Amino acid sequence: MKKLIKILAVVTALVLALGCLASCGSKPEEAATATDAADTASKLTATEGVLVMATNASFPPYEFVGDDGAFAGIDVEIAGLVAEKLGLKLEIQDVEFGSIIGGVQSGKFDMGMAGMTVTDERKESVNFTDTYATGVQSIIVREDSEIESFDDFFNEDGSVKDIKVGVQQDTTGDIYCSDTVENGGVGEDHVTQFKTGNDAVQALVSGKVDAVIIDNEPAKSYVSVNSGLKILDTAYTEENYAICVSKTNTALLDAINGALASLKAEGKVDEIIGKYIAE
C-alpha cells in the first residue's frame, strides 16, 4: 500500500512538472509576436539595435530643441515610443530639411520624421508610413498688411502682384508656392527660400518678404514670440504627415507601421499631439 502511494505521488509530481513546462514555459502569442518583431527590427537598421531618425529641429511643436538642450516635440515623442515598441534605441540627427530624404535613400538615416508631408514627388524617392497627423499650410503676414487671403497675392487679371513670399526650403510650402499660377502657386520669381522657418519669419519681421507660408502649428509658435505678426484666417492647403523610410527597407516600414498602429490603438499618438496642440 505504501509503495502504491509512493508511485502515485511520483506520477502526480511528473504530471504537474510537465504541465508547468507546457504552460509556464510558453509565452502568450501577443508577447511572442512583440518579441519577434523587436528582434527582427533590430536587424533592419543601419546600426543593429539603433533607430536613427533624421529631423530638422526648428519646426515647433513637432521638433525643436528645449531649454535643457534636448530634442522635444510631437515627432520626437512619437519616435521614442516607436523605437521602444521595436526594442530599439532612438538616435536623432538634426540636419537641414532638404537633406533628409537623400539621407534616408542612401541609408545614412533609418527614417525621416520632421512634420513631413506625403507628396507624389517624395513618394518617388522614399516610402511613407501610415499617416500619424494632419497639417495645414498657413499664411503669416505683418499686422498692418493689406493681404487678407491668398487671393490677395494676385491682381484682378490673375497675374501675381509685386510681392515676395518667404518659405523654408524644400518644404511643401516651398514646393506648392514655387509652382506655377496654374498649379496653385505664385512662381519661383516671387518666392524666397530660407534654411529654417525662423529665418523666413525674421525676414517677414524686417520687411524683406511680404508673407510667409508654413505649417500652421509652427506658424502659431512663431507668431507668439514675434510681435506685429498675424496668421490669416484662410488656410493655404491641408496635408498629411508621415515617416519616410528607404524604398529598399520595406521590412522596417512594416515594423514601424505596426508600432504606429499599436500606439494609435492605445491612444498614445492622440495624447502626444494633444499635449502640444490645444484643440
Q: Which domain holds residue 151?
A: 136-239
User: CB–CB of 201/211 below 8 Å?
Assistant: no
Q: Is the residue at 47 inside a domain?
A: yes
Kindly indicate the confidence band of residue 236, based on its pLDDT and cuts at 50, 70 and 90. Answer: confident
Residue 91 grid cell: 538616435
**Same domain, residue pair 61 and 120:** yes
Q: Is the residue at 11 inside a domain?
A: no
**Same domain, residue pair 263 and 234:** no
Mean pLDDT for all residues in the chain: 86
Domain count, the chain: 2
Q: Tell whether the model's pLDDT for residue 218 goes beyond 60.
A: yes
**Same domain, residue pair 49 and 177:** no
Kindly indicate the confidence band of residue 279, based on its pLDDT and cuts at 50, 70 and 90. Answer: low
**Same domain, residue pair 101 and 143:** no
Kindly indicate the confidence band of residue 33, based on its pLDDT and cuts at 50, 70 and 90. Answer: very low
**Same domain, residue pair 118 and 182:** no
Reported as a single tens digit per residue, the pLDDT across 53-110 is 999 998 899 999 999 999 999 999 999 999 999 999 999 999 999 999 999 999 999 9
Q: Tell whether the model's pLDDT for residue 172 goes beyond 60.
A: yes
**Same domain, residue pair 87 and 164:** no
Q: Is the residue at 115 inside a domain?
A: yes
User: CB–CB of 234/163 below 8 Å?
Assistant: no
User: CB–CB of 189/30 below 8 Å?
Assistant: no
Reported as a single tens digit per residue, the pLDDT across 255-272 is 999 999 999 999 999 999
Q: Tell whether the model's pLDDT for residue 178 goes beyond 70.
A: yes
**Same domain, residue pair 44 and 126:** yes
Kindly indicate the confidence band of residue 3, based on its pLDDT and cuts at 50, 70 and 90. Answer: very low
Whichever domain contains 259, its CATH number is 3.40.190.10
Look at the block and give the residue holding cell 498614445. Answer: 268
- This prediction has a pTM of 0.72
Q: Which H helix or E strand runs over 6? A: helix 2-23
* Alpha-carbon dihedral 200, 202, 203, 206, rounded to 10 degrees: 160
Question: What DSSP line would sit under 162-204, residue for residue?
Answer: S--EEEETTSHHHHHHHS-GGGTS--GGGEEEESSHHHHHHHH
Q: Is the residue at 168 inside a domain?
A: yes
Q: Is the residue at 91 inside a domain?
A: yes
Rounded Cα–Cα distance for residues 169 and 114 (Å): 13
Kindly indicate the confidence band of residue 225, based on its pLDDT and cuts at 50, 70 and 90. Answer: very high
Q: Is the residue at 189 inside a domain?
A: yes
CA Rg value for the chain? 26
**Same domain, residue pair 68 and 153:** no
Residue 31 grid cell: 508577447
Reported as a single tens digit per residue, the pLDDT across 18-32 is 343 334 443 444 434
